[in-house]
Amino acid sequence: MAMAEALAKTKLKNVKMGSKDAIDSFFSEIITEDESLLCSKFRRSVASASGSQFRFKSIINILYQVRNDTVHGTKFWEFHLADEKDVEEGMTLMTWGYLGPRGRKRKEIVELTLTFQDLVDIFVRTGLENIHSVLKK
């Protein structure tokens, strides 16, 4: 997430923006296949009353909250990525994500099949799309 923020701020060097706006700008360049991939790998728990599908923006908000928790030294250890071997065997990881406005965040139980390598690959491709968007201008 720090790379996404830095790249977006570099891309838009004359625009003053906060961390969240920078990350949103970074992910505005995500390719459709990667957006679909992220959405397919994040699910709300069956116990949730909100339905099983997360919106793409909600997934980015969860990842942004993990970034905040890590940078500011709070409960970053509550979120985990799935293990590749477990995913290959059809297992789903249960983890936590936070959604909602500042001061009123609610804990969401997340069923996750996103691996570290999946996330790295998505960030690399989206980073390249961000660079490509600058070069097109």
Token duo for residue 26: 């970074």
Pairwise pLDDT comparison (104 vs 58), residue with the higher score:
58
Residue 111's pLDDT band (cuts 50, 70, 90): confident
pLDDT (tens digit, 9 = 90+) per residue, 73-88? 776 677 788 898 888 8
Rounded-to-integer distance, Cα 121 and Cα 119, Å: 5
pLDDT at 121: 96
pLDDT (tens digit, 9 = 90+) per residue, 4-23? 988 888 888 878 888 999 99
Q: Could you give phi then psi for residue 127, rounded to 5 degrees?
A: -60, -45
pLDDT at 76: 66
Contact 109, 47 (CB under 8 A): yes
pLDDT at 130 over 80: yes
Considering the entire predicted model, what is its pTM? 0.83
- The DSSP line for 96-123 is EEEESSTT--EEEEEEE--BHHHHHHHH
Q: Is residue 53 exposed (0-12), middle (13-18) or buried (19+ Cβ within 10 Å)? A: exposed
pLDDT at 109 over 70: yes
pLDDT at 65: 86
Residue with tokens 């690959």: 121
